[in-house]
Amino acid sequence: MVRKAKRRSRDEILDAMRADKDLDLARHDPAATFGWDKDGARAALRGDLATVHELQTRLFAEGTRSLLVVLQAMDAGGKDGVLRNVLTGLNPAGVEVTSFGVPTDLELAHDYLWRVHDAGPSRGRIGVFNRSHYEDVLVVRVKHLVPASHWRKRYDHINRFERMLVDEGTAIVKLFLHISSEEQRSRLQDRLDSPDERWKFRLGDLDDRRLWPQYMDAYRDALARTSTAHAPWYVVPGDRKWVRNLAVAHVLRDALEHLDPQYPEPEAGLDGIIVT
């Protein structure tokens, strides 16, 4: 007889994923299931998304606060999959997705937070960063794009910047989609072999892959140093897409439930009006 693992609750899953200053990524299994199976997780995802949708509607109507979702991952880590599978079904008018690539000359002519601040969600919106200011302590560190004396100061800048956003009405959650090196190998190979996906592949992806251990060190430090009560990091198991989708939906739902957005008071004097 196969003993079924006990499904972990939403709160247990969120606790298990939350990063703290002693973060050890080796203790976060990229293939974790939290006791769920695929069919159960898909059904639970639908439930979460229905709630997220309703809360988004309220957030939009309330129009005073916003939610910023930061997505970070290695190549093929599933950022696009999260956008497709979890952030669909929302009202597109209320979602602003920004992808951060190699900075342009104009962006490089400013401080590294300039383009980030500009892309933050406006009131009532959910903003999603596909990559983010964290690249400035990840790729920038690993590829030595600025001296260590520069990027080392950025953890503090980032904490203070995010604190300011929170104080001004933007809730923040940060998701690291954590895949194993073997899973990345297999996904990159699939990309190369599939005519529909080959366009996503860049030779530079292989350079980054060779730097995997350095990236994991940089991720560890970034998450440990910038996971705060007001802007926590979650280490999301990324090898199984159905677990990843459910885990991300849990984070979004939890963040929106904490915001608890309310419909604004309707105008006075609407009772009994018959529209003719």
Q: Map residues 73-92 to x or -, x wherever contact with ligand AMP holds by CB under 6 A.
A: --x-----------------
Q: What H or E segment, with its residue span, contains residue 211? A: none
* Minimum CB distance to Mg ion smaller for 75 or for 135: 75
- Binding-site residue total for ligand AMP (CB under 6 A)? 11
Residue nearest to Mg ion (CB): 75
* Minimum CB distance to ligand AMP smaller for 30 or for 78: 78
Indicate whether 75 belongs to the interface with Mg ion (CB under 5 A): yes
Picked from ligand AMP, Mg ion, none, the partner binding residue 82 (CB below 5 to 8 A depending on kind) is none
Distance CA 197, CA 158 (A): 34
Question: Tokens representing 149?
Answer: 């004396």
Q: Are strands 95-99 and 233-237 parallel, antiparallel or unpaired?
A: unpaired
Q: What are φ and ψ of residue 71, in 5° steps?
A: -115, 125
Indicate whether 147 belongs to the interface with ligand AMP (CB under 6 A): no
Indicate whether 140 belongs to the interface with ligand AMP (CB under 6 A): yes
How far apart are CB 103 and Mg ion at their closest, in Å?
A: 15
Which of left, alpha, beta for 146 (phi over 0: left; psi -120 to 50: alpha)?
beta
Judge contact between 189 and 83, C-beta under 8 A. Answer: no
Strand partners, 72: 176
Task: Give the total residue count for the chain.
Answer: 276
Neighbours of 272 (CB within 10 A): 5
* Minimum CB distance to Mg ion smaller for 75 or for 239: 75
* Minimum CB distance to ligand AMP smaller for 18 or for 209: 209
In sequence order, what E strands does 20-78 have? Answer: 66-73
Indicate whether 114 belongs to the interface with ligand AMP (CB under 6 A): no
Q: What are φ and ψ of residue 135, in 5° steps?
A: -55, -25
Which region, judged by CB under 5 A, interacts with Mg ion, from 14-22, 25-33, 67-75, 221-229?
67-75
Which region, judged by CB under 6 A, interacts with ligand AMP, from 33-41, 65-73, 136-144, 150-158?
136-144
* Minimum CB distance to ligand AMP smaller for 84 or for 258: 84
Picked from Mg ion, ligand AMP, none, the partner binding residue 254 (CB below 5 to 8 A depending on kind) is none
Q: Describe the crossing of helices 212-226 and 203-210 by its angle, rounded to 10 degrees.
A: 70
Judge contact between 235 and 178, C-beta under 8 A. Answer: yes
Task: Give the interface with ligand AMP as residue ranges (CB under 6 A).
Answer: 75, 100-103, 131, 135-136, 139-140, 145
